[in-house]
Structure formats: structure tokens, C-alpha cells
Amino acid sequence: MVDVKKMMEYEYLTKEHLSGFNKYKYSARDTSPLSVYVMHPFWNYIVQFCPTWLAPNVLTFVGFLFSLANFVFLSYFDWNFYASSGDGSAPPIPRWFWLLAAINIFLSYTLDGIDGKQARRIGLSGPLGELFDHGLDSYTAVLIPACLYSVFGRCETSLPPIRMYYICWMVFFNFYTSHWEKYNTGVLYLPWGYDISMWGSTIMYLVTWFYGYGVWKKTFPLGITMGILMEAVLHISALSNMPMVVYNVYSSYENKTGKMRPFSEAVRPIYPFLTFFVIFMFWAYKSPNDIMTNDTRMLFLLSGTIFSNISCRLIVAQMSNTRCEAFHWMTPIFIPIATMV
């Protein structure tokens, strides 16, 4: 049986972490034109309608639940990603759901945009609220691409599961490098890809609701399908942030504005992410039971869960200005799993 008392007494944050949180000041820069000129004015307007007694963390959590709701619905309607394949192997997803999915993702995006504004508005800004916000964002990193896969389905005009898994990893990589950047610079430079992906997802769901999933089955010259186009856009969107990450970290050392960590300390957060990537890619390719083909959704979900855990540990380290761990405690557990399942 689970010892609830022992769980309640467990120290998830050390005294060193809490001491660092007391000195922490939020620093972020958002240069995305879509965010600066469209979304922030919209969010500044919307947040005025939030009652002052409404806690920012409630907005954060409800926004996450809207994203989670899409994943849960699609897990019920389309567990194996065949519903939109068009080959009759599974019943199609109800048309009404795609309108609901568009509303859910837009509400999630909006609540994620106003939670910080609500915190500053009522004087409740703090490091734990930011940790909660970014922690849930790290879990959303797998929910959004997994839901988009159901728009196309597993068919000739879409992507095989392994290539969709690569997309998930590109989203992970984009999110993680942004926080690795902050670990070294002290500033969170918000990637442009996030705003594009949220708007893109909303539009794709609306198009699917209006025209049906068949609209994504078109093939262009040279055999380019809509699935391949989506793949290219998502990879480019994720990788577009990398040059700025490198430049910002380099500039922080050149101008002595960052944490000025030695190289060995600056790259420490990369090790748990890289180890996690190697183990799970080995599992995807060498699983005795071919888990990538037979239970794609579960592999996506498990990967997203572990990624969120690793990301939160990095976020805690960068916010408390403490040393990030180089070894994730769950690594010894997943090495034998990857060779047996």
C-alpha cells in the first residue's frame, strides 16, 4: 500500500532550492510579432474580466485541462491513430469534436497567456507559480503533437508513427533548450514556434471540422503529401529557435551578463535529456514487442511524462540558481524496460 504520510513528508524541494527561490526574479523576453502585436493586447483586454479573487494557478491548471481534454477525447475515439486513415479500419472521429478541439486549444492558449498577467495584476507573482506554469507547459509538449496526429491518421498520405515520434522529440528539444538557455543566461527568450503551433493547431482543427478529415488526404507534385508538409513545418518551427539559443548563450558569456558557468557546468542539463533520448529511441527501434507500432499512443504518453519530469528538474535548478543534476534517477528503470517490452 502507498504510504501517504511518507509521501506528504517527502522533500521535493530542498532548503537550497527554497533559498534560491526567495532571491529569484522573473526575466523573460517575447519578441514574436504574433505574440507582441496580436496576442498580448488581446490578453491584456481579457484579463480585465478575471475577478481579483481568482488565483493565477487556477487559470494555469484549467488551461492545461483544456489541452488534456483533447488528448483524452482522442484517446477514446482514436487510440491507435487509425480513425482518420480513411481505409475503414476504424470509425472516424465525430465531426463535432474538431470544433470542440479548436475551442479547447484556443482557450488553453489564452489562459496560459493571461495567468502571469493575472498574477501581476493582483500582486501574487512568485517562483512557485512560474514553476507550476512551466511544469504544465512541459507536459503539454507531447499532448499537442499527439493530438495533431489524429487529424491525419496512419495512412499513405500521413506519416508512420516513428516519424511522428521524431516530431514529438523536436518539440521536446525546442522546449528544453529554451530552459537550458535560461539556465545559463538568466533570461527566458520565448520561442516563436509556440505561438505558431497554437494558432496552427486551432486552424487545423477548424479546417477539419468544416471540410472533414479528407481535406488532408491530398497529394501534391513529387509525391508530397499534407502529412509531409506538416512534418516539415513542425521541424522547421522547432529548429528555428536553435540559432537564437546559441547566439543568446554566446552573448551572455561575451558580455558577461549570464551565469558565467564553466563549460562542464553549463552543459550538465544536456546529459539527462540525451540519455533519455538514446534509451527511448533504442526502445522504439528495438522493442521485442514493437511498441512503436502496437501501442504508439502509450509510448508518446510515457515519453512526455518522463520528459516533463526531466524538464521540471531543470526549471527548478535554473529558477533557484542551483546546480542541475546530470543523472536522472529513473534511468536505471528504463534501461531494462527498453530491452524487454
- Per-residue DSSP letters for 92-115? PPPHHHHHHHHHHHHHHHHHHHHH
CB atoms within 10 A of CB 272: 24
Q: What is the mean pLDDT of residues 318-332?
A: 86
Give the pLDDT score at 20. Answer: 84
CA 222 – CA 135 distance, rounded (Å): 42
- For residue 68, is pLDDT > 90? yes
Q: What is the mean pLDDT of residues 245-259?
A: 92
Domains of the chain: 24-261 (1.20.120.1760)
pLDDT in tens, 198-218: 999 999 999 999 999 989 888
Residue 312 in grid coordinates: 521540471
- 3-class SS of residue 84: coil
Locate cell 493565477: which residue?
Answer: 56
- Give the percent of the chain with pLDDT over 90: 63
Q: Which residues pair with residue 189 across a beta bridge?
A: 29
- For residue 2, is pLDDT > 60? no
| Type of residue numbered 115 | D
Q: Do 310 and 277 contact (CB within 8 A), yes or no?
A: no
Q: At what angle do helices 56-77 and 127-152 cross, to 10 degrees?
A: 20
pLDDT in tens, 281-320: 999 998 888 999 999 999 999 999 999 999 999 999 999 9
> If you average pLDDT over every residue of the chain, what do you get?
89
E-strand ranges in the chain read 28-30, 188-190
pTM confidence score? 0.92
Give the pLDDT score at 281. Answer: 93
Q: Do 226 and 154 contact (CB within 8 A), yes or no?
A: no
Q: Do 110 and 43 contact (CB within 8 A), yes or no?
A: yes
When comparing pLDDT for 148 and 20, which is higher?
148
